[in-house]
A and B are shown apart, each in its own frame.
Chain A
Amino acid sequence: MRPMLTATLLAALIAAVAPSAAIGVGSAVSSEELVENPADWDGVTVTFEGEAIGEAMVRGENAWIHINDDAYTAASVEAGARLSGFNAGMPVLLPAEAAARIEQFGSHKTQGDYVKVVGVFRAASPEQGGEMLIEGDSLEVLRRGAAVTDPVMAWKLWLGAGLAGGCVIVGLLLQRLRHSI
């Protein structure tokens, strides 16, 4: 019984000492939480989820990617999302081969892949010039991105045509004024 009790107490102690590590790995942490409380999360292994944005910048064996976990991860404004504030996210430095799993990066014409990264959060990494980042160990694509269409609205064409007509008329009037005595 005694070793059993010791093991139980030890497990309870570990759980009490490292709660943030347990929270980080179990459920995805938000960039807002990391930015607001960087000291609390520094060095903790976290799970981070969001939309891959822009591109992967491969530097040797590693690559930089940017994961946004804001309100536009499912659909951008172009794809019909409601305006919900600024973008928010976190840079991730991870092995280039892991970054290569991302096929679509978010842009005006694309909704990026929704990915899950597990890695260590650094509040100010000395190796990376003091940057706040996640040193990713693994990456999993949870949902593939897709192309976004943003068709021209007909009323804009009509408005443009009306304004062009207006410009011609006012421009002719101005010419007449210039040439009048």
Chain B
Amino acid sequence: MLLRPTWDDHKVVGMYAGRIVLGVGLLMAIPLVTSLVFGEWDTAADFCIGLLASLFTGLCLQVVFWTRKRLARRHGLVTVAIAWLLGTLVGTIPLALSGHYGSYADAVFDVMSGLTTTGLYLIQDLDHIANGLSMWRFVLTFAGGQGIVVIALTFLFRGSGAVYQLYSGEGKEEQLLPNVIHTARAIWVISLGWLIAGASLLSVTGLTLGMRPDRAVLHGIWMFMGAFSTGGFAPQSYNVIWFHSSVYEALCVVIFVAGSLNFALHWAVWHGWRGELVRNIETRSFASTLAVLSVAAAWALADTGIYGDWVVLFRKGFYQLVSAHTTTGFATIYSRAFVTQWGAGAMLITMAAMAIGASSCSTAGGIKGLRVGLITKSFFGEVRRVISPESSRVTVRYHHIRDQILREPVVRSVLTIAVIFITLYAVVTAAGVFAGYPVDQAAFEGISAASNSGLSCGLLSPSSPDLLKVVYVAAMWLGRLEFIAVLALAGWVWAAVKGR
């Protein structure tokens, strides 16, 4: 029997969502301070309005839905889905006020793209935007990478227990520490450690490349945030082309590969268990698919003859491929070059890399290396079972932080999510084709959105059909939350209407 949620249930969801919205609002203090430092007064006013509107919304939600009831298991996923939607809507306010968007919906697209660490964008005249506005784009993507719920858990929640549902609702299941709030704080410790090291290195490199000191530092911080969160936003419309430096590109690769690794793996390495890097099924899966796809991409690119020698081919081909595989979206070629220079073969390989994605419990999107690894293990396990004598018992093992036995429910779960991802990829591709775009470009852009990658072949623009933008926003949201939280919200609404 379908049970209708009670008013008390709605109150719990509303109140906790309000608290997370409050957290998103407080983040606007960072771009506000940036605008004030650089004397961008109109932009500062936009952030004042955005911050106050977020606080007002968050506080109103807590007053209207005030309750002393604690968050229960059934509330967690719905709260996350609603918080992401509301967080997106309030986070959009400063962008929409900036005058750089054709509509509020376009600004919503960019905020969802930032929070989901996708990197596709609709902002117009990016090369003239204020530093404060640029900072907000990167704070969104950095916060989204760690998870806005993780932020809220870090600063605004106490206790543990059912808040695990909030945490897992953002597509993260691994607990680095027994207490989920301590886990959230550990994620921030890891991320901030990387931020200090990565941004410093990029800033110094920027200076040596001839950038102005203030721009070198800002670009260093922003490019780190874009890379580590596997977000793909860049401060200039030229993306990584802007820097014209193999050193800068290599640093970005190190950072976005690090960002694409499981936080549990970071935690293990942080505590001296370096062997985990080699033994973990996710890193093995990622290394295997990257190697296979790299060879395939090199072959496809060599066939086009656009890059004269192998060094150049490696630099261009490998960069784009790792960026796709980690679902980062940084590019050292023009978007349209995928179509006009790379051709269908190399585009197809890039799509495969985006579709697979990187690690679970990281900032990356896509099906995830863990699932691909487990599906492969399960497949070979089945083969072994078929060729073994009937009386023998085949046990499939894998290593992920600890040695584990691959059991039927786990296989069923990873296959279900993989099938849903593939279905989503098909749906977004179909949406692009129905909007009138060639199938290869529709597939490239659609998979990029749904896997939260952000590489573009130039299909998406402010003049794209609104319906296609809505489909991409939904795909980014679904892909980032790995469906479960969004489906839980749909179930909640259904139960509220049809339940008893």
Residues of A within 8 A of B (CB): 35-38, 53-59, 63-64, 66, 68, 70, 72, 76-78, 81, 83-89, 91, 93, 106-109, 123-124, 126, 128-132, 150-153, 156-157, 159-160, 163-164, 166-167, 170-171, 173-174, 177
Chain A to chain B: the 8 pairs with minimum beta-carbon distance, closest first: A57-B210, A163-B52, A76-B128, A87-B237, A130-B312, A170-B59, A156-B45, A126-B308
B309: nearest chain-A partner, CB-CB: A126
Is there a chain A Cβ closer than 8 Å to B182's Cβ? no
Which residues of B line the A interface, CB within 8 A?
40-46, 48-49, 52-53, 55-56, 59-60, 62-63, 66, 97, 99-102, 124-131, 209-212, 215, 236-238, 241-242, 244, 246, 306-309, 312-313, 315-316, 332-334, 336-337, 340-341, 461-463
A125 to chain B, nearest CB (A): 9
Chain B residue nearest to A78 (CB atoms) is B128
Contact assessment for B66 and A53 in the assembled complex, using a CB-CB cutoff below 8 Å? no
A166, B59: Cα distance in complex, Å? 10
Smallest CB–CB gap between A143 and chain B, Å?
Answer: 17
> A86 with B341: in contact, given A36-B336, A156-B45 (CB under 8 Å)?
no
Across-interface contacts of A66 in B (CB, < 8 A): 236, 238, 242
A124-B306, A170-B60 given as contacts; is B126 within 8 A of A86 (CB)?
yes
- In the bound complex, do residue A167 and residue B52 qualify as a contact, i.e. CB atoms below 8 Å apart? yes
> How many whole Å from A136's CB to the nearest CB in chain B?
14
Q: Tally inter-chain residue pairs, CB-CB below 8 A.
A: 172
In the complex, are the beta carbons of B340 and A38 less than 8 A apart?
A: yes
Q: What are the residues of chain B within 8 A of A83 when measuring CB–CB?
A: 99-102, 124-125, 462
* Least Cβ–Cβ distance between A94 and chain B, in angstroms: 13
- Whether B237 lies near A86 (C-beta < 8 A) is yes
> B341 touches which one: A38, A150, A167 (CB < 8 A)?
A38
Q: Are A35 and B237 in contact (CB under 8 A)?
A: no
**Which of A55, A107, A108, A109 neighbours the largest number of chain B CB atoms within 10 Å of its CB?**
A108
Which residue of A is nearest B59, CB measured? A170
A93 to B333, CA, bound (A): 16
Which one of A55, A91, A174 contacts B238 once the chains associate, using CB atoms below 8 Å? Answer: A91
CA distance A81 to B125 in the complex (A): 10
CB distance from B395 to the nearest CB of A (A): 48
B215 neighbours in A (Cβ, 8 Å) = 54-55
Question: Which residues of the partner chain B approach A54 to less than 8 Å between Cβ atoms?
Answer: 127, 215, 236, 242
Complex Cα gap A78–B99 (Å): 8
Q: Are B210 and A59 in contact (CB under 8 A)?
A: yes
Q: Given that A86-B462, A151-B41, A152-B42 are known contacts, is A56 also in contact with B210, CB under 8 Å in the complex?
A: yes
Chain B residue nearest in CB terms to A80: B99
A129 touches B55 (CB 8 A): no
Question: Are B53 and A35 in contact, with the CB atoms below 8 A?
Answer: no
Is A174 a contact of B59 with CB atoms below 8 Å?
yes
Residue numbers in B under 8 Å from A70 (CB-CB) = 125
CA distance A86 to B236 in the complex (A): 11
Determine if B63 and A173 form an interchain contact, defined as CB atoms under 8 angstroms apart.
Answer: yes
Complex: how many Å from CA A59 to CA B246? 14
Q: List 12 A-B contacts (CB under 8 A).
A: A54-B127, A55-B211, A59-B209, A83-B101, A83-B125, A86-B461, A108-B128, A124-B308, A150-B130, A152-B45, A156-B46, A166-B52
Asked if residues B210 and A89 are in contact (CB atoms below 8 Å), the reply is no
Q: How far is the CA of A84 from the CA of B125 in the complex (A)?
A: 8
- Least CB distance from A132 to B in Å reads 6
Select the residue from B52, B308, B313, B461 with max chain A CB neighbours within 10 A: B52
Are A85 and B124 CB-contacts (below 8 A) given A57-B210, A57-B211? yes
Query: Nearest-CB distance from B323 to chain A (Å)?
Result: 15
Which among A88, A91, A123, A130 has the greatest number of chain B C-beta atoms within 10 A?
Answer: A130
Check B40–A150 contact: CB distance below 8 A: yes
Expressed in whole angstroms, the Cα–Cα distance for A150 and B463 within the complex equals 26
Q: Is the CB of A55 within 8 A of B52?
A: no
Residues of chain B with a CB closer than 8 A to A89's CB? 237-238
Which A residues are in CB contact (< 8 Å) with B313? 130
CA A154 to CA B212, docked complex, whole Å: 34
Query: Which residue of chain A is the closest to B215 with respect to CB atoms?
Result: A55
Q: Which residue of A lies closest to B100 (CB)?
A: A77
Chain A residues with CB under 8 A of B307: 124, 126, 130
Known: A156-B49, A170-B56, A173-B63. A132 touches B334 (CB 8 A): yes
Partner of A91 from the list B131, B211, B244 (CB cut-off 8 Å) is B244
Asked whether A36 lies within 8 Å of B127 as measured between CB atoms, the reply is: no
Residue of A nearest to B210 (CB): A57
Which residue on chain A has the smallest CB distance to residue B315? A129
Q: Which A residues are in CB contact (< 8 Å) with B212? A: 55
In the docked arrangement, what's the CA distance between A129 and B318, Å? 12
Q: Is the CB of B127 within 8 A of A53?
A: yes
CA A170 – CA B212 in complex, angstroms?
45
- Give every chain B residue within 8 A of A63 (Cβ-Cβ): 210
Shortest CB-to-CB span from A72 to chain B, Å, is 5
- Residues on B with C-beta less than 8 A from A35 are 334, 336-337, 340
* Nearest-CB residue, chain B, relative to A71: B125
Closest chain A CB from B54 CB (angstroms): 10
Find out whether the CB atom of B63 lies under 8 angstroms from the CB atom of A108: no
Q: Do the beta carbons of B56 and A64 come within 8 Å of each other?
A: no
Chain A residues whose C-beta falls within 8 Å of the C-beta of B237 in the assembled complex: 68, 86-89
B124 (CB) vs chain A CBs: closest residue: A83
